[in-house]
Amino acid sequence: MGRCYPHLSFQDRIKIAKWRDGKMSVPEIADRLGRAPSTIYRELKRNFFSDKELPELNGYYAMNAQGMYEKRRAIHRKLIVHPELKVAVMDRLKAGWSPQQIAGRMRLERHPIRVSHETIYRFAYSKVSGVWKALRFQLDGWKFQGSNSSMRCCGCPAAMASSVAFR
């Protein structure tokens, strides 16, 4: 079936930069990292630093490459890119709204920037949000159910009121 292609880590980027400075060929770098040569070529092309004013600084730098990678990944994270949206979602979560209620209300109010309930869950449980501990007792009453991995209330009123840890 499908294969898993993990993203290059910062350590991988440091190795690529060091080996490129040592004039090592791309196929040899790929072999040492256990990656396809096309992955290394793509990495060098996407994250190559170029400066028109100081062309002697042009090249591949691991720190710069990691920053460019993280910036590309953040483009698709609406709750990080749009702080006003994040504040609105956070306020409603703290008021006890479920992610489905928040997403549905945004749809009804025709917000210019909307998020799905899956995005809100992903954000609430992510390391980036920093709200996991504060909202854990509210989110514990919700769980994944169904084949499409949609989240629905488990139907237990006690679970909605508070977590087992707080009873």
Classify residue 17: in a domain, yes or no: yes
pLDDT of 11-33, one tens digit each?
999 999 999 999 999 999 999 99
pLDDT in the model for residue 12: 94
Give SS3 for 125: helix
Q: Are residues 159 and 95 in the same domain?
A: yes
Classify residue 89: in a domain, yes or no: yes
pLDDT of 151-166, one tens digit each?
444 444 444 445 555 5
User: Is the Cβ–Cβ distance between 119 and 79 less than 8 Å?
Assistant: yes
pLDDT band at residue 138 using 50, 70 and 90 as cut-offs: low
Structural domain including 47 reads: 10-74
pLDDT in the model for residue 154: 46
Give SS3 for 152: strand
Classify residue 2: in a domain, yes or no: no
Provide the number of structural domains found in the chain: 2
Q: Are residues 84 and 162 in the same domain?
A: yes
pTM here? Answer: 0.52
